[in-house]
Chains A and B, each alone.
Chain A
Amino acid sequence: MAQTTAPERTSSGHALSYDEITRTIARTLGNPSRGYYVLLAVAASLFAFGVVCLMYLLRYGMGLAGYSMPTYWAVYITCFVFWVGIAHSGTLISAILFLFRSGWRTAVYRVAEIMTVFAVMTAGLFPLIHIGRQWFFYWLVPYANERGLWPNFKSPLVWDEFAIGTYFTVSTCFLIMGLIPDIAAVRDVATGWRRKLYTITSLGWRGTNEQWRHYRPAYLYLAALATPLVLSVHSVVSWDFAMALVPAWHETLFAPYFVAGAIYSGCAMVITLLVPLRKLFRLERIVTIHHFENLSKLCLLTGMIVCYAYTTENFIAWYGGPTPERTAFWFRAFGRFWWGGWTMNICNAFLPWLLWSKKVRTNITALFVISIFVNLGMWMERFVIIAVHLAGEPFEPFVRAGYNATWADWGIMAGSFGWFFMWFLLFVKNFPSVSVAEVKEELPPPRRAVGKGSHA
């Protein structure tokens, strides 16, 4: 462990020092390069396009989306599940790996957490868009109303609301908790308006023994609370489907299958985000190839679980033998939407096998390309599960009307990517995107005694 987490050494042979870590991370908050502004402009314009589409949807109603009986859950719910899934690896890396004392998480967990918070924020928009009369969104909340009505707590959709609400709150708390000592560290080297901003947002952190004494256990308990939460949230999301009687939805396999898929897509998204971030912010010495390799190992593990889940559900559909189930899986592979089914199979079940090779795991370009295909495949998986299986519902042959997503679907989906990347880019420019204090924990502390374990 100690060997694998050792910081990268330069050609001169000296390891990173505490000061270098602070400076490197504080530098990411300075004047950005042109590439940053280009990315931000692309994200903001995508978001603006999504807003325009949403305005049309609000004005002319849900008819603009390509719904047709029986496909009333389609691209918006697909995007909801996709973004919730993306969120999962953040808490996995920050909470579960924290409990497992995995040292390598320190360099990447902040990016993963930021991604989590903004991905849940993005995901939360889609049920609101999907409900149609968006201005009545508060009907989802159990509040004492003049009609004397309460939500149906036996419905997984209500569980989901509680799960996503809790997940968003807890992951935001977790992000802010971790940020406080790091904002204090950049506060002490910042100048100008940034110094003022960090003085306020560091909440008076000075790293006193009293502060650390309460902070450390609090962080541990938050991690302990967040750990079962990660596993529960996507399970609850999967029950939105598994509790219904649609063939290919009604499976006990769904909870672990969805959780693994979520972590798989989330880790891929962390890689997608880290590769350009590392280049833009010149973090090569802190985020090393070793971190990418570990992330891709997580991808490999969860990808294998996803592969197993695909195999199992197809096998059970055949072996179990109920006609609706068999028909549904036949439709997935060879029906009108065969391209969706095969994209998902290739990207999620076959592609992760490449990661068995260490050459691939340590090649950043290869990982970046794979991570994008994984994201594509995971989006397609949700699309296949939701829209395709509804379209291919074999109970009522007369309703098999087909389904075509429209510009309103694609526009709002593109807008959600813009919204996510816009917030992400703004955040990493203004707050430390790598943990200052925790990266230092991975170094041997400075000691007087010269010899093993000393530094600088």
Chain B
Amino acid sequence: MKLPNPLSLILDATPKPGVLAVFAHLDAAVDAVHQLKRAGHSDFTVYSPLPRHELEDALAQPTSPVRTYTLIGGIAGCTIGAWIPLYMSYDWPVVVGGKPIGSIPPYVVIMFEMTVLFGALTTLLGIGFNVLLAARHQGRIAYDPRFTNDRFGIFVPVAAAQASPVESLLRSAGAEEVRRA
């Protein structure tokens, strides 16, 4: 029996038709984002070799939910960090240095370390989940290896019939190269 691969939607999806534009200049890419938004496109993907606030401002995306993961992880870690030493102290009650069995001050160290550990791990989980979900939503879209080097890129998913206005929009915004994918 062949089990379905949960990642197949990302890895083996059929390529989405659309238009891919390559930009040599950041301000041209920012212009194109503004114009695409004005023309009513919202599903396009912007590639950049480095994060730029100009692009983030133009895209005006909602705040990433990753911080919720960090918060939940941190609180969970702190709780676990309090529970482990307290439970274990009472389960094996030995008086050390004449202090209470479950004495909080030394356990703060464990609570702190576990807060950081769980916070960091859930942050990673958060970025993993969110990026995977986004990739699943995007489908398999065109890409150019220059986008991790020195070019900015925009992919607009449109059917071949409606592609030419998008192409001319991207060209007029200053795209160095526009091609159908």
The finding on whether chains A and B are genuine partners in a shared complex, rather than unrelated, reads yes
Residues of A participating in the B interface, judged by any CB pair closer than 8 Å:
17-19, 22, 142, 148-155, 158-159, 162-163, 165-166, 169-170, 173-174, 177, 181, 184-185, 187-189, 204-218, 221-222, 225-226, 228-229, 232, 236, 436-438, 440-441, 445-449
Can you list 29 residue pairs at the A/B interface with Cβ under 8 Å?
A19-B150, A22-B150, A148-B91, A150-B91, A153-B85, A153-B110, A154-B97, A154-B99, A158-B110, A170-B120, A188-B147, A189-B145, A208-B138, A209-B45, A210-B138, A212-B56, A214-B131, A221-B66, A221-B119, A222-B123, A225-B74, A225-B116, A229-B116, A232-B109, A232-B113, A436-B49, A437-B51, A445-B26, A448-B27
Do A173 and B120 contact each other (CB < 8 Å), given the known contacts A19-B149, A150-B88, A214-B127?
A: yes
Q: Is the CB of A209 within 8 A of B106?
A: no
Contacts A209-B47, A232-B112, A445-B26 known; 18 new A-B pairs at CB < 8 A? A18-B49, A148-B92, A154-B106, A159-B110, A162-B110, A162-B114, A166-B116, A208-B45, A209-B46, A209-B48, A209-B56, A213-B56, A214-B66, A218-B126, A437-B50, A447-B26, A448-B174, A449-B27
Q: Is the CB of B49 within 8 A of A210?
A: no
Q: Is the CB of B117 within 8 A of A169?
A: yes
Q: Is the CB of A209 within 8 A of B59?
A: yes
Do A221 and B123 contact each other (CB < 8 Å), given the known contacts A181-B148, A188-B148, A210-B138?
A: yes
Q: Is the CB of A207 within 8 A of B148?
A: yes
Choose among A225, A440, A448 the residue with the greatest number of B CB atoms under 10 Å from its CB: A225
For B51, the chain A residues whose CB sits under 8 A away are 212, 215-216, 437, 441
Q: Which residue of chain B lies nearest to A211 when distances are taken between CB atoms in the complex?
A: B131
| In the bound complex, CA of A189 to CA of B151 (Å) | 13
For A232, the chain B residues whose CB sits under 8 A away are 109, 112-113, 116
Q: Is the CB of A189 within 8 A of B47?
A: no
Q: Is the CB of B59 within 8 A of A440?
A: no
| In the bound complex, CA of A388 to CA of B95 (Å) | 32
For B63, the chain A residues whose CB sits under 8 A away are 217
| In the bound complex, CA of A454 to CA of B138 (Å) | 33
For A151, the chain B residues whose CB sits under 8 A away are 88
Q: Is the CB of B88 within 8 A of A22?
A: no
For B150, the chain A residues whose CB sits under 8 A away are 17-19, 22, 446
Q: Which residue of chain A lies nearest to B59 when distances are taken between CB atoms in the complex?
A: A209
Report the interface size for chain B: residues with CB under 8 A from the other chain: 65
For A22, the chain B residues whose CB sits under 8 A away are 148-150
Q: Which residue of chain B lies nearest to A18 when distances are taken between CB atoms in the complex?
A: B150
Q: How many A-B residue pairs have CB under 8 A?
A: 190
Chain B nearest CB, measured from A167 CB (Å): 8
Q: Which residue of chain A lies nearest to B134 when distances are taken between CB atoms in the complex?
A: A210
Residues of B participating in the A interface, judged by any CB pair closer than 8 Å:
10, 24-28, 45-52, 54-56, 59, 61, 63-64, 66-67, 70, 74, 84-85, 88-89, 91-92, 94, 96-97, 99, 103, 106-107, 109-110, 112-114, 116-117, 119-121, 123-124, 126-127, 130-131, 134-135, 138, 143, 145-150, 174
| In the bound complex, CA of A436 to CA of B50 (Å) | 9
Chain B nearest CB, measured from A349 CB (Å): 30
| In the bound complex, CA of A248 to CA of B96 (Å) | 23
Q: Secondary structure of the A side of the interface? A: helix
Do A445 and B117 contact each other (CB < 8 Å), given the known contacts A19-B149, A189-B145?
A: no
Chain B nearest CB, measured from A182 CB (Å): 9
Residue of A153, A173, A209, A212 touching B107 (CB-CB under 8 A): A153
Choose among B10, B109, B123, B148 the residue with the greatest number of A CB atoms under 10 Å from its CB: B148
Q: Is the CB of A211 within 8 A of B88?
A: no
Do A210 and B148 contact each other (CB < 8 Å), given the known contacts A204-B135, A437-B50?
A: no
Chain A nearest CB, measured from B113 CB (Å): 4
Do A162 and B45 contact each other (CB < 8 Å), given the known contacts A170-B116, A449-B27?
A: no
Q: Which residue of chain A lies nearest to B96 when distances are taken between CB atoms in the complex?
A: A154
| Closest A-B pairs by Cβ, 4 of them | A18-B150, A188-B145, A210-B134, A150-B88
For B143, the chain A residues whose CB sits under 8 A away are 206
Q: Is the CB of A447 within 8 A of B145?
A: no
Choose among B46, B121, B123 the residue with the greatest number of A CB atoms under 10 Å from its CB: B123
Do A213 and B61 contact each other (CB < 8 Å), given the known contacts A218-B123, A221-B66, A441-B50?
A: yes
Do A153 and B64 contact each other (CB < 8 Å), given the known contacts A214-B131, A225-B123?
A: no
For B45, the chain A residues whose CB sits under 8 A away are 208-210
Q: Which residue of chain A lies nearest to B51 when distances are taken between CB atoms in the complex?
A: A212
Q: Is the CB of B120 within 8 A of A448?
A: no
For B26, the chain A residues whose CB sits under 8 A away are 445-447
Do A163 and B138 contact each other (CB < 8 Å), given the known contacts A150-B92, A214-B64?
A: no
Q: Is the CB of A207 within 8 A of B131?
A: no
For A437, the chain B residues whose CB sits under 8 A away are 49-51
Residue of A148, A162, A441, A449 touching B109 (CB-CB under 8 A): A162
Residue of A212, A217, A218 touching B48 (CB-CB under 8 A): A212
Chain B nearest CB, measured from A320 CB (Å): 23
| In the bound complex, CA of A380 to CA of B34 (Å) | 61
| In the bound complex, CA of A13 to CA of B10 (Å) | 46
Do A217 and B67 contact each other (CB < 8 Å), given the known contacts A154-B96, A208-B45?
A: yes
For A212, the chain B residues whose CB sits under 8 A away are 48, 51, 56
Choose among B64, B127, B146 the residue with the greatest number of A CB atoms under 10 Å from its CB: B127
| In the bound complex, CA of A216 to CA of B89 (Å) | 41
Q: Is the CB of A218 within 8 A of B64?
A: yes
Chain B nearest CB, measured from A370 CB (Å): 33
Q: Is the CB of A445 within 8 A of B52?
A: yes
For A228, the chain B residues whose CB sits under 8 A away are 112, 116
For A208, the chain B residues whose CB sits under 8 A away are 45-47, 134, 138
For A153, the chain B residues whose CB sits under 8 A away are 84-85, 88-89, 106-107, 110
